[in-house]
Amino acid sequence: MEITKSIITINDYGKINIRLNDIMKSRNITRNYLARTSNTRFEVINKWYNNEVEKMDLDILARICYVLDCSPADIIRYEKDNSK
* 2, part of any domain: no
Print the domain residue range for 42: 11-78
Q: What is the pLDDT of residues 27-73, one digit of tens each?
A: 999 999 999 999 999 999 999 999 999 999 999 999 999 999 999 99
CATH code of the domain in which 48 resides: 1.10.260.40
* 6, part of any domain: no
- Provide the 10 A C-beta neighbour count for residue 24: 20
* 38, part of any domain: yes
pLDDT of residue 83: 62
The rounded distance, in Å, linking the Cα atoms of 59 and 64 is 9
